[in-house]
Amino acid sequence: LTEMGFPCIGLPGTIDNDIKGTDYTIGYFTALGTVVEAIDRLRDTSSSHQRISIVEVMGRYCGDLTLAAAIAGGCEFIVVPEVEFSREDLVNEIKAGIAKGKKHAIVAITEHICDVDELAKYIEAETKRETRATVLAHIQRGGSPGPYDRILASRMGAYAIELLQQGFGGRCVGIQNEKLVHHDIIDAIENMKRPFKGDWLECAKKLY
């Protein structure tokens, strides 16, 4: 549209948080709250029944939502697309936890990595512990937006208007280190992969 003479400014709106050039996307924090609440509820039933729970989180091919929710929700195991997955290694880690006296566990996994129902059957067969998979699916996309998302969308929207008034077009708004920025919209769309938060994963491993 910009090339046709209708200047446009894009705002990054997705729960997956997978758009280049912005630390966070509109909708990500609201979805994060929904996922963490679900994990909290799953932990209650996992603990009372001494079972292993697998929770599948959205994210397409980005593990940000899974990783953040797993840390906030205290998940013992995290499976994301940025790290090679081996179900055998996962089972060995679960067995090690059982040997240390763990009575239950939660595995957070990003969608599209494997069939979580089949994974649950495999874990149960190998560990002899009841294992259930929960696919959160589109419940993560709905609900009233959280405060940070409302503020983020407001700031980005106001900034987009400023850019249009300055004569810009074909740009995508982002936020980096709490500062509003803008980049070429084609680059943001075609290069959606962002650096993985490997330090966050290492943090989770140390905690659990």
Give dist(CA 201, CA 190) in Å, integer. Answer: 26
Helix, strand or coil for residue 169? coil
Give dist(CA 134, CA 111) in Å, integer. Answer: 11
Q: What are phi and psi of 149, to 5 degrees?
A: -65, -40
Residue with tokens 């400023």, as numbered in its chain: 162
Parallel, antiparallel or unpaired: strands 77-79 and 105-110: parallel
Q: What are phi and psi of 189, to 5 degrees?
A: -75, -45
User: Which one is catalytic: 16, 18, 64, 149?
Assistant: 16
115 is catalytic: no
Residues with catalytic function: 16
